[in-house]
Amino acid sequence: MARLPHRLNAALAAAVGAVLVLAAQSPAAARSSLGAWRVSPSGVLELRTSPAVELKAYFEAGTASRGAKLWVDLPGEPNRSRSIGGSGALKEVRIGRPDGNTTRLVLEFQPGIRLNPRLLRLVGTAPDRWRMPLLGLPTRGLISIGEGDLEARAPAAEQRPSFPTSGAPLSPDGLPVVPRGRFKVVVDPGHGGPDPGAIGIAGLRETDVVLDVALQLARLLEARGVTVAMTRTSDIDVDLPPRVALANGAGADAFISIHANALSMARPDVNGIESFYFAGGPQAERSRLLADAVQRQMLAISPRTPDRGVKTARFFVIRRATMPATLVEMGFLTGVLDASRLRDPDYRRRMALALAAGILNYLRAAP
């Protein structure tokens, strides 16, 4: 990697979209700012770092005999260099010290594994947490590897500050651009009418939350020239089969069903965001990319909310949809952290922006 000229590194960093500046302080101290790392079986690189450090990520395509490499540079030096054997498409992970004050975390993939750097983004999900879904990486045979405790909390004072939600648009102007008139998306606000869905803290109703977000999402997509069909636009009940029939009849490029979770009122400690796709159909791979894209954006606006991941499921609407489809759970109405946010109109506005950004990113990169 040192053999890459500096300028090329910078260009690659731009291509990876991963130069995220949380704050401009580089610790002068030599201790590594890498607290923990993990590559999950679903192909997500997760990092815990010292709060407010600056990371840089780079990508180098492979050759016939050498695998592609992805690396992240962090301030501070590790106490020793080491390499850890990978599994599946991941050949090896190395921790190195290239220059005496940098920790370099290298993921080397098996030769022949191709990744599109445009789809790779290292996203800060909290001042000390980072996440990069390795979109397009085959997950077959991938076993969780990592070091350190990802869940360890930084001292409360350090965790508090508001931080820039890297990569998450704060206004419609920041949304990704796609060719106007080319795409069609079906937006499905879950539940409605006599079926309020989940009921959360202080009577917060799933049907109201999801309808508000869905209507805003539709407007944002339309403003980007995307044709939107909605399965409902008011508080009425629509059965599941007609929702899917509408989606399938629309010849849409993507389908998103919007929900919020609930557990027991006795579990306000359970919070988190998750996205589902159906792994059994011909659209499984694209659906996974779509789910990954929206999950990433939702997390970016929701610091400290647990990432419950991108998961497979057999929900009717995503199982029967013939186009790439995802069902998102934007948080727990029974969770004290998520409910206080989902109740807030400004958070719902940002959630609609996040979903729009995820969908537009997916459409822009769609194979």
Q: Is 139 exposed, middle or buried (0-12, 13-18, 19+ CB in 10 A)?
A: middle
Residue 190 vs 306, nearer CB to Zn ion: 190
Min CB(206)–Zn ion separation in Å: 5
Please indicate whether residue 77 is annotated as part of the active site: no
* Residue 74, strand partner residues: 103
Q: Using only C-alpha atoms, what is the Rg of the chain? A: 21
Min CB(334)–Zn ion separation in Å: 13
Which one of 46, 77, 206, 329 is the catalytic residue? 329
Strand 273-277 to 307-312 pairing: parallel
- Asked if 178 and 223 touch (Cβ cutoff 8 Å), the reply is no
- Asked if 51 and 154 touch (Cβ cutoff 8 Å), the reply is yes
State the number of CA atoms in the 13 A half-sphere of 360 facing the CB: 29
Min CB(218)–Zn ion separation in Å: 18
φ, ψ for residue 218, nearest 5 deg: -60, -45
The length of the chain is 367
Residue 99 vs 195, nearer CB to Zn ion: 195
Min CB(180)–Zn ion separation in Å: 32
Tokens linked to 110: 């098996």
Residue 122 vs 258, nearer CB to Zn ion: 258
Residue 50 vs 275, nearer CB to Zn ion: 275
Residue 115 vs 273, nearer CB to Zn ion: 273
- Asked if 123 and 165 touch (Cβ cutoff 8 Å), the reply is no
Residues that bind Zn ion (CB under 5 A): 190, 197, 259
Min CB(198)–Zn ion separation in Å: 6
Closest residue to Zn ion using C-beta atoms: 259
Q: Where are the alpha helices (DSSP H) in the chain?
A: 6-16, 156-159, 206-223, 240-249, 284-300, 316-320, 336-342, 345-365
How far apart (Å, rounded) are the C-alpha atoms in residues 153 and 147?
Answer: 15
> Which residues are known catalytic residues?
329
